[in-house]
Amino acid sequence: MRYLNFHDLQSKLGNRSRSSIYRDLDCGRLPRPIKIGSRLYWPEADIDAAIAALAE
């Protein structure tokens, strides 16, 4: 399983701004991140599933 840091997540989502990504997290359009140490990571499979669900 691959984990995306915030920069990778931004790139995958078309270089969206930090505020728009966190707004999507608050609204439930994107899955919540996993905290590993002091950093946040998103499982790539969860992000791919969320993108596919939004595309439908």
The length of the chain, given as a count of residues: 56
Strands (E), the chain: 3-4, 34-36, 39-43
Amino acid making up residue 38 = S
pTM of the model: 0.87
Torsion of CA 15, 52, 47, 16, to 10 degrees: 20
How far is it, in rounded angstroms, from Cα 19 to Cα 23? 6
Span 12-48, pLDDT tens digits: 999 999 999 999 999 999 999 999 999 999 999 999 9
pLDDT band, very low/low/confident/very high, at 56 (cuts 50, 70, 90): confident
Confidence at residue 7, expressed as pLDDT on a 0 to 100 scale? 97
Confidence at residue 39, expressed as pLDDT on a 0 to 100 scale? 96
Which position has the higher pLDDT, 12 or 56?
A: 12
